[in-house]
Amino acid sequence: MGVLLFSGHMIDAKSRPSPRFPPDKEDVARAAIGGALDQLGIGATELGIAGAACGGDILFAEAMLARGARLDLHLPMDETAFLAESVTFEKPATAAGDHWAERFVAVTRHDGVRVLVMPDVLGPTPAGENPHARCNLWMLDDAFAVGESTVRLVCLWDGGGGDGPGGTRHMLDEVRRRGGEVVVLDTKKLWSVAGTA
């Protein structure tokens, strides 16, 4: 069984000062993720491991499920808190609309998906430790534990640092450190080709 990790940017909130994943680039990102999965030959024998934030995570989940793959979605906190922080941004709608919450429910309730909530599995996050960084390492540990071949990471990333600990750069660095393979979908290039630098 192959294991494919994913990490990538969330869709931009309305309040984001500088664009990183503009809502109008969702189709570009979807096509890039789908193309990467096709090049890697992803099908029903693969297991995907990812988060479930609006944007890259949910696009990856939808693409994996469309190919018949199984999916483990790791949440760093309980579902209510996660929805507020990483799907709806504590508002009725994100910059792209409230359909992200509906899509979160669709993927997390799918028969091919297992939702793992970090405090339920690992216990409370220790004081001073960032839950998102901890969740990255948890996903990576799970990937190496169940994979029968090289662990691969697909990341939708602009090449920069994150807004805080536990972002895509952290995941990419850890995968490389442990000998995994990385496929970078460079959003700066994707958006530029699509007409937004």
Residues 108-126 have pLDDT tens digits of 999 999 999 999 999 999 9
For 177-190, what is the mean pLDDT? 94
Q: Is the pLDDT of residue 94 over 90?
A: no
Residue 195 in this model has a pLDDT that exceeds 80: no
The structural domains of the chain, ordered by start, are: 3-193 (3.40.50.450)
Give which of 121, 134, 79 is closest to 104, Cα–Cα: 79
**Residues above pLDDT 70, as percent of the chain:** 90
Determine the average pLDDT of the residues in 133-153.
88
Per-residue model confidence (pLDDT) at position 91? 53
Nearest to 6 by CA among 136, 149, 101, 115: 136
Q: What are phi and psi of 48, to 5 degrees?
A: -100, 140
The answer to whether residue 96 scores a pLDDT higher than 50 is no
- Two structure tokens written together for 179: 């000998």
Residue 137: what pLDDT?
A: 95
Angle of the 79-86 helix axis to the 99-108 helix axis, nearest 10 = 140
Token pair belonging to 170: 């952290």
Residue whose C-alpha is closest to residue 146's, from 110, 188, 103, 116: 116
Give the confidence band of 148 by pLDDT, cuts at 50, 70, 90: low
177 is written with which tokens? 């450190």
Tell me the pLDDT tens digit for each residue of 2-52. 899 999 999 988 878 888 999 999 999 999 999 999 999 999 999 999 999
pLDDT-based confidence at residue 93 (cuts at 50, 70, 90): very low
Residue pLDDT, tens place only, 66-90: 999 999 999 999 999 999 889 987 6
- pTM for the full predicted model: 0.92
Residues 113, 4: Cα–Cα separation, whole Å: 14
